[in-house]
């Protein structure tokens, strides 16, 4: 619903953010927060994030990418629906400036392993040991309530 995104933008007024979400109520909720908080550094695109990266973001332009609690698709037959796949790792890496970061988080341990392995296999990325601090998200709070363990992963685009 955009609470974490709004909090991050509010805390970092010198950085510009683009939020990407397909869920209408989530977009509406974030637009309301932008108005209430008078945020000038946050824009929202209601569209598929993969297509936004492919078609709207030039290569080598993003300082960072936040992928917080993407749908885990726990059933094996649904794993192909996960956003993190080898082509996504390449696409995300290409969009980052050299040294730019991809910060991913999940409360599903098997998806954390999947993301770690997929991102480690991307030649344009290298793993950073220390994850960045971030506010707790709504989905994360629910996961923690259910006893799930949260993992953050940080990867940097290699300097070429």
Tell me, letter by letter, the H, E, C secondary structure of the chain: CCHHHHHHHHHCCCCCEEEECCCHHHHHHHHHHHHHHCCCCEEEECCCHHHHHHHHCCCCCEEEEEEECCCCCCCHHHHHHCCCCHHHHHHHHHHEEEEEEEEEEECCHHHHHHHHHHHHCCCCEEEECCCCCCCCCHHHHHHHHCCCCCEEEEEEECCC
Of 6-14, 109-117, 125-133, 138-146, which segment contacts ligand SAM by CB under 6 A? 138-146
Q: Which of 88, 114, 139, 155 binds ligand SAM (CB under 6 A)?
A: 139
Question: Shortest Cβ distance from residue 85 to ligand SAM (Å)?
Answer: 12
Distance of CA 43 to the CA centre of its chain: 15
- Choosing from 59, 71, 107, 116, the catalytic residue is 71
77-136: contacts with ligand SAM (CB under 6 A): 83
Question: Shortest Cβ distance from residue 159 to ligand SAM (Å)?
Answer: 29
* Residue 71 falls in the annotated catalytic set: yes
Question: Shortest Cβ distance from residue 43 to ligand SAM (Å)?
Answer: 14
Binding mask 1-20 for ligand SAM (x = CB under 6 A): -------------------x
Question: Shortest Cβ distance from residue 145 to ligand SAM (Å)?
Answer: 13
Question: Which residues contact ligand SAM (rule: CB under 6 A)?
Answer: 20-23, 26, 48-50, 68-71, 83, 137-140
Residues with active-site annotation = 71
């Amino acid at each position: 619903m955009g609470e974490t995104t709004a909090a991050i933008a509010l805390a970092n007024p010198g950085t510009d953010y683009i939020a990407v979400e397909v869920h209408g109520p989530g977009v509406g909720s974030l637009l309301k927060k932008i108005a209430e908080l008078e945020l000038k550094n946050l824009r929202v695109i209601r569209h598929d994030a993969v297509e936004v990266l492919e078609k709207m973001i030039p290569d080598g332009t993003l300082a960072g990418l936040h992928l917080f609690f993407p749908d885990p698709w726990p059933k094996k037959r649904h794993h192909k629906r996960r956003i993190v796949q080898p082509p996504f790792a390449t696409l995300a890496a290409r969009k980052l400036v050299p040294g730019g970061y991809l910060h991913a988080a999940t409360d599903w341990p098997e998806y954390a392993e999947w993301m770690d392995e997929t991102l480690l296999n991307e030649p344009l990325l290298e793993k950073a040991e220390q994850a960045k601090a971030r506010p707790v998200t709504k989905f994360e709070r629910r996961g923690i309530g259910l006893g799930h363990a949260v993992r953050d992963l940080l990867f940097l685009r290699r300097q070429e």
